[in-house]
């Protein structure tokens, strides 16, 4: 049956293996995580030379994969067949070959763990995929919504056994964005450099991720929120001079998300910290920022700011037929927001 990545990982870590895994979707992180966990646990290290095989879709076909799957492990309990880039597997789109996969899925070899890493969204209504659910598991790895990223980072850190402050979470999310692989890599890089009893705070992010202490999106948003004209312009100038590391498009996405929440905060009947945290879907730690923002920006001004952000995005994409440097667009945007 279809399962979530977390449930499947929990099963694998408890050494409950399925004969077939079909991993698909537009978020590679979960597909790769499950595949890596299976590589770690299905076949003992001493047996991998004879009983673990990594195949690549572009180099083989359905018949080749099934010939591996139907062989018995060599003097061992089980073997692992890992098919990477299975979306490029020869014959995967042909009905005749799909029928062969269906036949195998209905009667799999229990000593084989066959894993398809299908790095694209597959149609789960197809018969051969439904048949995999009979004895195996199908996992769809969906791209995560941006508003779920802080929760994911906090959960990932908890699993790794380290505490992370809300500000550190937000700095990571704001500066790295919706890239789970990179987020996990950056967190692990920090962990290598921390003491055993040390948590991840804003200072650790600045030290180990390479985010400037003063000139980052988090501080830029804060300067705009407090209407600190000088600070906002200083950061905008820094971004303009370092546009390769601070492209305008992601900055606009972050600001749009922030001011949209400020708009919701204005409209909320319950302006208590708990009420706003629930309404906006943010950590209660940040509610004071939105309360400050609604004091500094009346509702009509917030509506105008959202219009300015949309306008800036359109001009950045050249929709008005004129090419304007990102730095100029950003400085103009700052002026419109804070004045």
Q: How high is the pLDDT of residue 215? A: 86
Q: How high is the pLDDT of residue 2? A: 65
Provide the CATH number for the domain formed by 217-338 in this structure. Answer: 1.20.272.10
Top CATH class of 5-141 equals alpha beta
Q: Where are the domains of the chain?
A: 5-141, 146-208, 217-338
- pLDDT per residue over 68-113, tens digit each? 999 999 998 999 999 999 999 999 999 999 999 999 999 999 999 9
* Total-model pTM: 0.72
- pLDDT per residue over 163-191, tens digit each? 999 989 988 988 888 889 999 999 998 99
pLDDT, averaged across the chain: 91
Q: How high is the pLDDT of residue 23? A: 96
Q: How high is the pLDDT of residue 40? A: 94
Give the SS3 label for residue 161: coil
As a whole number of angstroms, the distance between CA 130 and CA 1 comes to: 8
Angle at 78 between CA 76 and CA 84, to 5 degrees: 130
- pLDDT per residue over 25-45, tens digit each? 999 999 999 999 999 999 999
Give the SS3 label for residue 139: strand
- pLDDT per residue over 275-296, tens digit each? 898 888 888 888 999 999 999 9
As a whole number of angstroms, the distance between CA 113 and CA 77 comes to: 11
As a whole number of angstroms, the distance between CA 39 and CA 79 comes to: 10
- pLDDT per residue over 211-244, tens digit each? 777 888 889 999 999 999 999 999 999 999 888 8
What topology is assigned to 146-208 in CATH? Helicase, Ruva Protein; domain 3 (1.10.8)
């Amino acid at each position: 049956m279809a399962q979530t990545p977390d449930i499947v990982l929990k099963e694998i870590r408890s050494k409950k293996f399925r004969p077939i895994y079909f991993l698909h979707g537009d978020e590679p992180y979960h597909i790769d995580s499950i595949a890596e966990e299976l590589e770690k646990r299905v076949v003992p290290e001493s047996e991998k030379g004879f009983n673990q095989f990594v195949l690549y879709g572009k180099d083989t076909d359905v018949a080749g994969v099934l010939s591996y799957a139907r062989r018995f492990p060599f003097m061992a309990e089980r073997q692992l067949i890992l098919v990477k880039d299975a979306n490029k597997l020869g014959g995967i789109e042909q009905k005749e070959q799909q029928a062969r996969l269906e036949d195998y899925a209905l009667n799999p070899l229990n000593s084989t763990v066959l894993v398809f890493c299908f790095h694209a969204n597959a149609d789960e209504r197809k018969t051969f995929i439904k048949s995999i659910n009979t004895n195996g598991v199908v996992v769809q790895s969906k791209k995560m919504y941006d508003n779920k990223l802080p929760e994911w980072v906090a959960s990932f850190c908890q699993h790794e056994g380290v505490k992370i402050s809300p500000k550190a979470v937000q700095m990571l999310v704001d500066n790295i964005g919706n890239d789970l692989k990179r987020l996990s890599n950056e967190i692990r890089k920090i962990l290598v450099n921390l003491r055993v009893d040390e948590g991840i705070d804003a200072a650790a992010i600045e030290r180990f991720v390479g985010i400037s202490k003063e000139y980052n999106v988090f501080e830029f948003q804060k300067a705009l929120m407090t209407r600190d004209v000088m600070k906002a312009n200083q950061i905008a100038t820094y971004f303009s001079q370092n546009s390769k590391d601070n492209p305008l498009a992601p900055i606009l996405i972050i600001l749009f998300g922030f001011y949209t929440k400020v708009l919701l905060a204005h409209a909320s009947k319950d302006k208590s910290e708990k009420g706003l945290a629930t309404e906006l879907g943010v950590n209660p730690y940040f509610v004071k920022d939105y309360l400050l923002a609604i004091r500094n920006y009346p509702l009509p001004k917030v509506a105008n700011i959202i219009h300015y952000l949309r306008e800036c995005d359109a001009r950045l994409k050249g929709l008005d037929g004129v090419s304007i440097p990102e730095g100029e667009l950003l400085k103009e945007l700052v002026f419109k927001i804070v004045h």
